[in-house]
């Protein structure tokens, strides 16, 4: 529950309508092989009863030094002891697990009721058919407390993932398996692209593993492990995972090592890269309303291009990069306010200037503080001098002002001196 508040950035009003997902819940079912109660597992179930129903959870962890320091700081500032709690009444709890053996319990019940047959369950489809008929009494027989099951009114069964489902997972631009593998190769200075045919063949291999989505990790690792061992010791910097690579990794590796600058492969790489950029850009545009609601801004085309390039270069997902870009824009707005407080001068960064700052900060790995410190040092003297000479207090910061602040401001100051000098000459005449 505390993690839920953390994910909501400390917003309790938002967190109290959140979702808590608990996986492998079947592991806390008491064992049927024990003589007497299984105290440890039953105890975990009973500990979950209150949060699942309704209770107040204290957000301060008793023995957490950070929580204690935050409480001390709050008391120092306000003189009051604050007790922050969250009510779990409106939090949705979703729990899942493999529940191995549950189908046999369902089968026995159905046989007692005169439904079904006594044959052994042989296939995944048969198992799913039995699980679809699960009742609360089956889960209690499996090892759950009746009070615990009573707080979980809806039970559903996941269908087995088919090849098409696994392929769709691999095609998802935020898929951590492909992103992770690209990052692995990128750490060796190697960029890789995946053909659609390769992704489909990987999905086929994962399906044959019969372990659901977990099979995708195994399938990808088995195909690329040889490449990850051999390619870093070569000069190869670009590599395409084709269907042929998935079907026979060893043969295709030898072929690549014999002709590392294969023009056909490099041409295919560039085509796939362009296609990936286009697909990522399209996916961001389709989520425009979502991003506007989440961040309060609409990403313009140039900013979207920056996000896409960052995703491909670093192997980050779209949410991570979007949050980086939004944070930079927030820092620009804060810089404008801080500059006005210190100097009385109003700066407004143009869209091109914000875009350029975003580029610079991302290239410096998010060190926005250093970038804005440099700009502040350059801007303060120049804009104050212009204000003192002309009385002007409002300025538009352009891309040029960001790229070459000293040169830009020097030119402005020289122009002001020249105009004033010309004016004095005219007055004398």
Under a CB-based contact definition with an 8 Å cutoff, are residues 313 and 182 in contact?
A: no
Rg (CA), the chain: 31
Helix (H, G, I), strand (E, B) or coil at 338: helix
Residue 36 has a pLDDT of 47
With contact defined as beta carbons under 8 Å apart, do 272 and 193 qualify?
A: yes
| Predicted local confidence at residue 35, as pLDDT | 46
pLDDT of residue 221: 96
For the chain, what are the domain ranges? 2-150, 163-282, 323-428
Largest CA distance in the chain: 117
Q: Please state, in angstroms and rounded to a whole number, the distance separating the CA atoms of residues 72 and 68.
A: 6
323-428 carries CATH number 1.10.8: yes
Q: Provide the CB-side half-sphere exposure for 381 (13 A, CA).
A: 8
The pLDDT of residue 30 is 80
- Grouping H, G, I as helix, E, B as strand and the rest as coil, residue 255 is helix
CA dihedral sign of residues 40, 45, 50, 51 = positive
Give the integer Cα–Cα distance in Å for 51 and 308.
41
Distances in Å between the alpha carbon of 343 and those of 381, 382, 397?
Answer: 10, 11, 16
Architecture of the domain made up of 2-150: 3-Layer(aba) Sandwich (3.40)
CATH fold label, 163-282: Helicase, Ruva Protein; domain 3 (1.10.8)
Cα–Cα nearest to 27, from 97, 102, 95, 93: 97
Alpha carbon 102 to chain centroid, angstroms: 35
Nearest to residue 32, comparing CAs of 131, 91, 93, 108? 108
Question: Which of 420, 401, 294, 308 is closest to 362 using CA atoms?
Answer: 308
pLDDT by position in tens, the chain (length 429): 888 888 887 888 999 999 999 999 999 888 664 444 555 778 889 889 989 988 888 877 666 666 667 667 766 777 776 677 899 999 999 999 989 889 999 988 888 876 555 555 455 667 778 888 999 999 999 999 999 999 999 999 888 899 999 999 999 988 899 999 999 999 999 999 999 999 999 999 999 998 889 999 999 999 999 999 999 999 999 999 999 999 999 999 999 999 988 899 999 999 999 999 999 999 999 988 888 888 888 888 889 999 999 999 888 888 889 999 999 999 999 999 999 999 999 999 999 999 999 999 988 765 677 888 888 888 888 888 888 888 889 999 999 989 988 888 888 888 887 877 766 666 665
Question: Cα separation of 146 and 140, whole Å?
Answer: 6
The predicted model scores a pTM of: 0.72
**382: CB partners within 8 A, 6+ apart:** 405, 406, 409, 410, 412, 413
Q: Does 323-428 match 163-282 at the fold level?
A: yes
Please tell me whether residue 396 adopts helix, strand or coil conformation: strand
């Amino acid at each position: 529950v505390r993690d839920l508040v953390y994910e909501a950035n400390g917003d309790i009003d938002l967190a109290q309508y959140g979702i808590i997902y608990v996986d492998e819940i079947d592991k806390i079912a008491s064992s049927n092989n024990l003589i007497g109660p299984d105290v440890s597992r039953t105890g975990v179930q009973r500990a979950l009863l209150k949060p699942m129903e309704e209770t107040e959870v204290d957000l301060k962890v008793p023995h957490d030094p950070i929580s204690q320091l935050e409480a001390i700081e709050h008391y120092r500032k306000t003189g009051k002891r604050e007790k922050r709690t969250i009510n779990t009444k409106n939090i949705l709890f979703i729990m899942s697990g493999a529940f191995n053996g549950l189908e046999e319990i369902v089968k026995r019940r159905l046989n007692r009721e005169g439904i079904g047959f006594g044959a052994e369950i042989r296939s995944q489809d048969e198992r799913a058919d039995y699980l679809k008929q699960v009742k609360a009494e089956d889960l209690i027989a499996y090892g759950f407390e009746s009070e615990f099951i009573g707080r979980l009114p809806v039970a559903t069964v996941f269908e087995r993932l088919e090849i098409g489902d696994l392929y769709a997972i691999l095609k998802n631009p935020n898929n951590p398996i492909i992103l992770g593998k690209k990052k692995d190769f990128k750490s060796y200075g190697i960029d890789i692209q995946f053909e659609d045919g390769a992704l489909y063949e990987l999905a086929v291999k994962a399906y044959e593993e019969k372990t659901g989505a977990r099979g995708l990790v195994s399938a990808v690792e088995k195909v690329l492990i040889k490449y990850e061992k051999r390619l870093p010791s070569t000069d190869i910097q670009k590599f395409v995972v084709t269907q042929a690579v998935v079907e026979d990794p060893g043969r295709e590796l030898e072929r690549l090592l014999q002709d590392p600058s294969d023009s056909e492969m490099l041409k295919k790489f560039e085509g796939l890269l362009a296609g990936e950029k286009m697909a990522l850009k399209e996916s961001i545009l389709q989520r425009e309303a979502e991003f506007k609601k989440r961040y309060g801004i609409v990403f313009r085309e140039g900013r979207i291009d920056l996000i896409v390039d960052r995703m491909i270069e670093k192997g980050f997902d779209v949410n991570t990069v979007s949050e980086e870009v939004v944070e930079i824009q927030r820092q620009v707005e804060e810089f404008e306010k801080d500059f006005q407080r210190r100097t009385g001068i109003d700066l407004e960064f143009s869209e091109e200037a914000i875009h350029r700052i975003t580029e610079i900060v991302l290239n410096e790995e998010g060190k926005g503080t250093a970038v804005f410190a440099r700009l502040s040092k350059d801007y303060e003297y120049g804009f104050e001098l212009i204000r003192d000479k002309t009385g002007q207090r409002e300025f538009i910061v352009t891309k040029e002002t960001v790229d070459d602040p000293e040169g830009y401001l020097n030119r402005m100051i020289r122009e002001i001196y020249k105009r004033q000098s010309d004016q004095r000459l005219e007055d004398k005449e």
